[in-house]
Amino acid sequence: MPSRKQRRRREKLQRHEYEYVIENEEGEEVAVDHLAETGKGPGREKAQRGPVDRRGREVPKPSLQRTLKRGAIFGPILVIVVFLLGGNELGTSQKVLQAAMLLAVFLPFSYLLDMLMYRAFQRKQARGPGTPSKR
């Protein structure tokens, strides 16, 4: 026989609006709309947030800083890959230059993809839930 906690979790998962219900400190389920009316909880913040993905996480705006951080992560990886796959024909400076060229293509492409994804999430959120996409 499932425990009370397991039964509540199963009931919560079977509800369609389970995202809008949270548990307070006493273990009671409280609707988020009620919290928004009182000025407490995540209800007020939800209206001011940006686009949200399927998991309910906010999609951040594309930024040059985030793209440069991504480049700082993938730059050394690109250098290592070029050194491993470059063979003996290329010198060290040529391999580093080739990795820099790859990074020069990767960074704008990464920023462009971030921008396209952000705009797609904005359009999807503007359409509202339950509205089919136009294809």
Are residues 24 and 76 both part of a single domain?
Answer: no
Are residues 72 and 122 both part of a single domain?
Answer: yes
CA distances from 14 to 5, 9, 37 (A): 14, 9, 26
Task: Note whether residue 58 is domain-resident.
Answer: no
Task: Note whether residue 21 is domain-resident.
Answer: yes
Band of residue 67 on the pLDDT scale cut at 50, 70, 90? very high
Please tell me whether residue 24 adopts helix, strand or coil conformation: coil
Looking at the structure of the chain, the number of domains it has is: 2
Task: Note whether residue 98 is domain-resident.
Answer: yes
Task: Note whether residue 56 is domain-resident.
Answer: no
Band of residue 113 on the pLDDT scale cut at 50, 70, 90? very high
What's the pTM value of the predicted model, to 2 decimals? 0.56
Task: Note whether residue 132 is domain-resident.
Answer: no
pLDDT of residue 64: 93
Residue 30 phi, psi (nearest 5): -125, 135
d(CA 65, CA 88): 36
d(CA 95, CA 97): 5
Q: Mind giving me the DSSP string for 74-120?
A: HHHHHHHHHHHHS-SSS-HHHHHHHHHHHHHHHHHHHHHHHHHHHHH
Are residues 43 and 97 both part of a single domain?
Answer: no
- Residue ranges making up the domain that contains 98: 64-127
Task: Note whether residue 8 is domain-resident.
Answer: yes
Task: Note whether residue 107 is domain-resident.
Answer: yes
* Residue pair 30/43 in contact by the 8 Å Cβ criterion: no
Helix axes 92-127, 64-85, angle to 10 degrees: 140
19 versus 91: the higher-pLDDT residue is 91
Task: Note whether residue 53 is domain-resident.
Answer: no
| Residue 67 CB neighbours (<10 A) | 20
Average pLDDT, integer, range 102-106: 94
Are residues 77 and 115 both part of a single domain?
Answer: yes
Are residues 84 and 32 both part of a single domain?
Answer: no
